Amino acid sequence: MDDWEKENRVTDARSEMNELVAQSMKNYEVKPNAIFAKLSDISGAFSKGLINWSRSNSVWPLQFGLACCAIELMSFGSPRIDAERKGFLLFRSTPRQCDVMIIAGWVTKSMIPEIKRLYEQMARPRYIVSFGECATCGGPWFESYNIIRGIDQVLPVDVYVAGCPPRPENLFDALMKLQKKIGGKIED
Amino acid sequence: MAVTRINIGPVHPSTHGVLRLVADIDGDTVVDVQPHIGFLHRGVEKLVETRMFMQNPPYMEKLDYVSPMSYDEVYVAAVEAAMGVEVKERAQYIRVILLELQRIASHLLWIGTMCNDIGQMFTAFMWGFQDRDMVLNLLEEAAGGRMFYVNMRIGGMVRDLPPDFADHALGLMDYMEKRVKEYERYLERNPVFMERMKGVGVLSYDDAKNLGVTGPVLRASGVNFDARKNKAYYVYQKLHFSTQVQMAGDNLARYKVRMMEIRESIRLVREAIKALPDGDALGMPVKLILPAAKNRISIVSRELPRGECIMYLVADAQKPYRLSIRSPSFINLAALNFLAKGQRTADMFGIMGTLDLVMGCVDK
């Protein structure tokens, strides 16, 4: 994710100025007492764990479906699977309230700028689940002239789900994996 | 008041799939709306030309992902017509049963999403998906897949129906008949629902014919046309069902046509299961080299849940030379501009909901 952000970072005069200010402030930094440093480390670790725990238990997906897999995405919220019991609350319609974007369907060339824009509007930390074969590698449309072969060519993906379309249970599994990843229990 | 131009979509909860609308609104009244399509275009018609006949059904299913089996069947029927192959009688009955189950599933999903469009009646969404899942279970039992089945072969089916299928299907039909009544009681007694459906988006008899809309939208405007009846195929002329026609032409009429179609489908499934003949239902194995196409050109028309789909196939020896698809959603989308003019902005989405668009089918 860091590489992507570095490449796509908007550099303007204001951010450069902020960096200069931060550098000049370093000279005036007061070195804290050793005991306080230890305490802040402990509380920092504790609060980090707390934040991760709360983040991983309230993953809000974006209401965004592209194609066939979007129907299974809707089934995911329906009574049979009942996504809310694990903290994947109601699908939100605005990217500003969401943590995870589920790319459900094939990504056409005309859709890339829209998806990028949605991703940029999401608040950090933000995650992407590539749901289904079309979003993962192009799927059956691999030879098509208007499809990109996998969303990971444009955006960083956290969890891939295989299947055409995957069952809603698979999405549940993928989001539980994502919870573990947010909680720091599994590595990248 | 000045006319304002607003952009809706392509990612918007009320647009079905990825559809961009550019609407000119005056206050809250829609003056003009232009749909911009093509966000899901992947060139199916071109991809199909590079593959053998029976490699293509999976592509056809992804056109209309709410009723995949129906599209599969249209394509296979076009290939059968090009090869001059007769479908076995038991296979015809099985196809009728499965297609009608698919129609029920499609209409149930439509109820759920449409009620979401007209004002957050989330109960209908939950009910629709709950019942649709039951129909999908049945289809999974018969065809092996949850959403995509690919269970048609030239001249028949991939596999026969499982032994318990008839009992399960009849049981589900009894349940579904009760549920349809429940849906009607729940929705038609709801003042919000009636307010937003009755008299909104009226399409007259002549306009419906001139715009060329198909399926339930056409029948809701009083035109008595159903490809199952008028262009009788398979065993539909042996079975008893009636074409559902409403005269009003508004949103409510389109809703009523679909609800009555669920009832007719239940009737058809029951009758077809009762009349199911014994015998062989399997089609030609794909591994054998298929007989070369006899007729170069075949045109096949079928009634899908969304309307009449026509496929025009120009056949080479082993591949389609050209496949042209007239998709019902694309035709019905053309009516949106006509219907939304002069309506409230919020009602535009209700109208779009009752047109029942699937964007995979529009963009191809």
Contact (CB<8Å) B129/A165: no
Helix, strand, coil percent values for chain B (each to nearest 5): 50, 15, 35
Is the CB of residue A121 less than 8 Å away from at least one CB of chain B?
no
| Whole-number pLDDT of residue B265 | 92
Alpha helices in B189-325 (DSSP H): 191-197, 205-211, 216-220, 227-230, 251-274
| Whole-number pLDDT of residue B230 | 86
Give the closest-approach CA distance of A82 to chain B in angstroms. 10
A-chain CB neighbours of B133 within 8 Å are 75, 78, 80
Residue of A nearest to B56 (CA): A140
| Whole-number pLDDT of residue B289 | 59
Question: If you average pLDDT over every residue of chain A, what do you get?
Answer: 81
| Whole-number pLDDT of residue B269 | 92
Average pLDDT over residues A34-40: 72
| Whole-number pLDDT of residue B258 | 92
Residue A29 pLDDT greater than 70, yes or no:
no
> What is the C-alpha separation between B146 and B150, in angstroms, rounded?
11
A113 contact partners, CB below 8 Å, separation of at least 6: none
Is the CB of residue B59 less than 8 Å away from at least one CB of chain A?
yes
| Whole-number pLDDT of residue B231 | 87
B-chain CB neighbours of A93 within 8 Å are 13
Residue A147 has its nearest CB partner, among B42, B112, B133, at B42
Angle between helices B345-355 and B251-274 (to 10 degrees): 20
Better-predicted residue by pLDDT, A139 or A15 = A139
Q: What is the pLDDT of residues A55-98, one digit of tens each?
A: 888 888 888 888 888 888 888 878 888 777 877 767 778 888 88
Is the CB of residue A63 less than 8 Å away from at least one CB of chain B?
yes
CATH architecture assigned to A1-188: 3-Layer(aba) Sandwich (3.40)
Q: Which residue has the tokens 């199911």?
A: B276
DSSP chain A: -HHHHHHH----HHHHHHHHHHHHHHTTPPPPPHHHHHHHHHHHHHHHHHHHHHHHT--PBB----SHHHHHHHHHTSTTT-GGGGT--SPBSSGGG-SEEEEES--BTTTHHHHHHHHHHSPSS-EEEEESHHHHH-GGGTT-TTB-S-GGGTS--SEEE-SSSPPHHHHHHHHHHHHHHHTTSS--
B-chain CB neighbours of A71 within 8 Å are 65-66, 109, 147
| Whole-number pLDDT of residue A114 | 86
| Whole-number pLDDT of residue B364 | 84
Domains and CATH numbers, chain B: 42-363 (1.10.645.10)
pLDDT tens by residue, chain B, 364 residues: 688 898 887 877 666 678 888 989 988 899 989 988 888 898 898 889 888 888 888 888 888 888 899 888 999 999 888 888 888 889 999 999 999 999 999 999 898 888 888 876 778 888 888 899 999 999 998 888 888 888 888 888 888 888 889 999 999 999 999 999 999 988 888 888 888 888 888 888 998 889 889 989 999 998 998 888 888 888 888 888 888 898 888 889 999 999 999 999 999 999 999 998 888 888 877 766 566 666 788 899 999 998 899 999 988 877 888 899 998 989 888 888 888 888 888 888 888 888 888 888 888 8
Contact (CB<8Å) B66/A145: no
Query: Per-residue confidence at A17, pLDDT binned at 50, 70, 90?
Result: confident
Which of residues 166 through 185 in chain A touch B, CB cutoff 8 A? 167
Is the CB of residue A108 less than 8 Å away from at least one CB of chain B?
yes
> What is the C-alpha separation between B104 and B138, in angstroms, rounded?
12
> What is the C-alpha separation between A135 and B153, in angstroms, rounded?
29
B-chain CB neighbours of A167 within 8 Å are 146
Spans of all domains in chain A? 1-188
Q: Do residues A171 and A161 lie in contact, with contact meaning Cβ atoms separated by under 8 Å?
A: yes
| Whole-number pLDDT of residue B263 | 92
Residue A93 has its nearest CB partner, among B13, B46, B126, at B13
Residue A109 pLDDT greater than 70, yes or no:
yes
Q: What is the pLDDT of residues A129-183, one digit of tens each?
A: 998 888 888 888 888 888 888 888 888 898 899 888 888 888 888 888 888 888 7
